[in-house]
Amino acid sequence: MIAASALDLRRQVALLSGSDSWNTEPLPEDGVPSCALSDGPHGLRFQADAGDHLGVSGSEASTCFPTAVTVASAWDEELAERIGRALAVEARALGVDVVLGPGLNIKRHPLCGRNFEYFSEDPLLSGRLAAAMVHGLQRHGVGACLKHFAVNNQESHRFVVDAVVDERTLRELYLAGFEHAVKESRPWTVMAAYNSVNGHPATQNRRLLTEILRGEWGFDGLVMSDWAATNDRVAAVAAGLDLEMPGSNGLFDRDVLKAVESGRLPAGLVQASAQRVLDLVERSGREKGPSADHDALARSAAAEGTVLLTNDGLLPLAPGRTVALIGAFAERPRYQGSGSSLVNPTRITTALDEFRRRGIAVTYAPGYDPADSHHDPALIAEAVAAASAADVAVVMAGLPPVYESEGFDRTDLGLPGQHDELIAAVCAANPRTVVALSNGAPVLMPWKDAPAAILECYLGGQASGAALVDVLYGDAEPGGRLAETFPASLDDVAAGPWFPGEPHQVEYREGLAVGYRHHTTAGIAPLFAFGHGLSYTTFAWSDVTGDRGSVTLTVTNTGTRAGADVVQVYLHDRTGVVARPRRSLAGYAKVRLAAGQSTTVTVAVPERAYAFYDVTAGDWRTPAGEFDLEIARSSTDVVATVTVTVSDGVTAAAEPAGTPLIAATDEQFRRRLGRPVPQPRPVRPFTRDSTLDEVAATRLGRLFKAALWRAAPIDEATRANPAELAMYEHSLAELPLRAAAIFSGGKLRWGTIDLLLRLFNGFGGRRG
């Protein structure tokens, strides 16, 4: 492959933007082919033609694996790697070189609309699972893309919001998973997020992209932008953003050329980025391979990620009982989320299909409308009648697609009222009721104690219906443990008052008080704890020993069936040196045992688990003193404790023990930030960064927004799909003008945008 140094500046610059939605720019005269990118993360969304980036136009059929939230619940790196490998096989069959995933943003708040696409609220678990998936892909010749780097923890205003977060929280919570995955699995690419971080767009954040990612972590791959996240292209190159995606028809090329010619941008930086594009192309050039059928893997993965939340012994179901199968998800399953990750599945097996295939007679009652679940007492009455007449009722409930999606956040934690009423009524009619939930993030369960068993199936991919029936009858074990906290109330989420923040600024004042870190510190009982999950068998833990580097114990399957257990080790810092959450995950191990089998399990505790990020030193430090390693079944169920003494640690920290984790007041937040709390960027005057909704405060802006809406690729199918339509509406409303220019495929040039801006700000800027 030609070296970037052998290309003239114009061709180097050309390499720095995609040629369309999914390919890098080829240079045929120099023998440089393009590299094909495709979403990700739980299946391929390969669009052979120009396509779109929000999943509204069709894509080639691919296996739809369980979404990240389901995979994470399996706590199983081997499984994540197997899925990665299967994705690589399918990618190579389609000629895809890089899969845009995994996504590993932290679930700061349970209402983030895209939580289904992320692993966990915990960075250790997220980082390990992401690394495993990257290994699965890259060991089989297909590149991965860690996304969205960084602090992209909400959908609201994602294109323009500035995440204001202190350095320690950034390092310990929001970067730690990326750090682990980068160092451990050496991903080919990383995707810079839409949002800003501490005043600088992630795409032009030199500190993140160059100093931390490359300098500190040794990342040697390519950084690409999220789709149309580019703002100031020159600043982006200077910051270390190599590739702008999608292609913007040369929108920014002149800026970059001029900046180099005038000496404002060092030519060496352009050359280095062009070289990284060439390196990616070089790494990619694989032969196409045969595809394979991965439905069975998707099916077993869905069961592995299913969490048995409660069970009075009804599950697994004894064969021969009559079943009332209730809930429209039984025939119209909710198995993935809307947005850029939407996969066109190779097939779908519904629960109803699987019951029928097994020859099990079920009475089916839909119970609700699967699209919007509006109030409908007649559907509940029909379901109650079916449940009363059967031995057992299985209610499939959850969140309809319009409740959670890329592009917008949820507004409350509840299920649709119709689902809550349905569950309560069915349980009252038949106490032998199993509730199986399909949702991408935590929900409230006001009826929690009524069913005999609750299964959290999450969004289980194309075979989720079959997997549910496998689990119900015990052909597969629900192997999951929650990778996130289910709060009992929205009030218990520490980030609540600052989520999703102002359109231009979100303040991470809760600091490290996220998920179970907050619940365990504040002593708040969750609805279901991080790490919780029952099994169809029972396990005994004994002979616990440990030292600074690991904990060892004997795990025995004391039941009569094979099963999987997850040993979790939490760190409790008792040194009194530094303010810390009461518990943080320090290690875990998943173990599978036959009935009666026993094994020795060693859980490694990395040195990093003890350390905190010392902002004064700009490095990680371990406090001196005593730590408890808590060996636990969940973040609230500690079985044994090993005490470790660190004598070679530090004895002072900027935030000593006793400092509240939540910086509620301006003064506390200012102190933690080490600078005044910034003011959000003003809405006026309008700039290229202004959103369509913002400029729509003017008459001309309204007309402009309406014209773009008319030009959007919204067909009848989208119009008839409330989730897709909602995603489009939100995305368009929040789209900044610069992104509209990028997406316009060359129709909107800067001259037009800047002229419009003058009008919006001047004559056309009159309110009304």
Task: Please say which residue, 119 or 227, places its beta carbon nearer to ligand BGC.
Answer: 227
Q: Please identify, using beta-carbon distances, which residue of 99 and 445 lies nearer to ligand BGC.
A: 99
| Among candidate residues 219, 218, 232, the one with its CA nearest the CA of residue 265 | 232
- Beta strands (DSSP E) in 563-712 are 563-573, 584-593, 598-604, 612-614, 619-621, 625-634, 637-646
Q: Which is nearer to ligand BGC, 98 or 663 (CB)?
A: 98
The one among 119, 188, 217, 227 contacting ligand BGC by CB under 6 A: 227
- Minimum Å gap between C-beta 55 and ligand BGC is 7
User: Among 92, 135, 147, 157, which residue interacts with ligand BGC (rule: CB under 6 A)?
Assistant: 147
The residue assigned the tokens 């760190």 is 571
CA distances for 578 relative to 231, 622, 661, angstroms: 39, 10, 11
Contacts of 491 (CB under 8 A, 6+ apart): none
C-beta of 226 vs 507, nearer to ligand BGC: 226
Nearest to 219 by CA among 188, 194, 249, 246: 188
Please count the residues of this chain forming the interface with ligand BGC, following the rule CB under 6 A: 8
Nearest-angstrom CA–CA distance, 405 and 239: 31
Q: Going by C-beta distance under 8 Å and a sequence separation of 6 or more, which residues neighbour residue 547?
A: 642, 644
- Contact criterion met (CB below 8 Å) for 567 and 591: yes
Q: How far is the CB of 338 from ligand BGC (least distance, A)?
A: 12
Looking only at residues 610 through 629 of this chain, which bind ligand BGC when binding is defined by CB under 6 A? none
Contact 97, 142 (CB under 8 A): yes
Establish whether the linkage from the previous residue to 136 is cis, with ω within 30° of 0. Answer: no
Q: What's the min distance (Å) between Cβ of 185 and ligand BGC?
A: 18
- Give the distance, in angstroms, between the CA of residue 596 and the centroid of all CA atoms in the same chain: 37
Closest CA to 735 of 54, 247, 256: 54
Binding of ligand BGC by 13 (CB under 6 A) = no
* Residue 53 binds ligand BGC (CB under 6 A): yes
Q: What are phi and psi of 502, to 5 degrees?
A: -80, 160
The half-sphere exposure of 87 on its side-chain side, counting CA atoms within 13 A, is 39
Residue 613 Cβ vs ligand BGC, minimum distance, rounded to whole Å: 27
Amino acid found at 691: T
Q: Which is nearer to ligand BGC, 113 or 136 (CB)?
A: 113
Q: Which two tokens stand for residue 200?
A: 């600088």
What's the rounded Cα separation, in Å, for the pair 677 and 683? 18
Output 245 or 586, the one with its CB closest to ligand BGC.
245
Q: Two tokens at 40? A: 């990700």
Q: By beta-carbon distance, which residue lies closest to ligand BGC?
A: 340
Q: Which of 39, 97, 122, 226 is catalytic?
A: 226
Site for ligand BGC in 306-345 (CB under 6 A): 340
Does 252 participate in binding ligand BGC (rule CB under 6 A)? no
The verdict on 730 binding ligand BGC (CB under 6 A) reads no
In contact, 126 and 107? CB cutoff 8 Å: no
CA 365 to chain centre: 33
Asked if residue 240 lies in contact with residue 210, where contact means CB atoms within 8 angstroms, the answer is yes
Q: Is 39 in the site for ligand BGC (CB under 6 A)?
A: yes
- Give kind and range of the element (H or E) at residue 147: strand 143-149
User: Could you tell me which residues come within 8 angstroms of residue 383 by beta carbon, excluding any fewer than 6 positions away?
Assistant: 324, 326, 365, 366, 367, 395, 422, 425, 426
State which of positions 339-368 bind ligand BGC (CB under 6 A): 340
Q: Decide: is 226 part of the binding site for ligand BGC (CB under 6 A).
A: yes
In angstroms, give the least distance from the CB of 94 to ligand BGC.
15
Task: Quickly tell me which residue has 């801006």 as its tokens.
Answer: 757
Query: Which residue has 């409303």 as its token pair?
Result: 733
Least Cα distance to 536 among 319, 313, 303 occurs for: 313
Choice between 452 and 737, CB closer to ligand BGC: 737
Q: How many C-beta neighbours within 10 Å does residue 382 have?
A: 16
Peptide bond into 500 cis (omega under 30): yes
**Dist CA 379 CA 537 (whole Å):** 36
Tell the smallest beta-carbon distance from residue 227 to ligand BGC (Å): 4
Residue 211, class by beta-carbon neighbours within 10 Å (0-12 exposed, 13-18 middle, 19+ buried)?
Answer: middle
Whole-angstrom Cα distance, residue 354 to residue 607? 47
Indicate the DSSP class of residue 466.
Answer: H
By CB under 6 A, residue 565 contacts ligand BGC: no
Q: How far apart are CA 462 and CA 550, in angstroms?
A: 38
Rank residues 53 and 432 by Cβ distance to ligand BGC and give the closer one.
Answer: 53
Strands (E), 288-384: 307-311, 323-326, 344-345, 362-365
Site string (95-114) toward ligand BGC, x via CB under 6 A: -----x--------------
Closest separation between CB of residue 178 and ligand BGC, Å? 15
Q: How far is the CB of 66 from ligand BGC (least distance, A)?
A: 18
Residue 257 C-beta: closest distance to ligand BGC, Å:
27
Tokens of 415: 């299920």
The reply to whether 255 belongs to the active site is no
Residues that bind ligand BGC (CB under 6 A): 39-40, 53, 100, 147, 226-227, 340
Residues with catalytic roles: 226
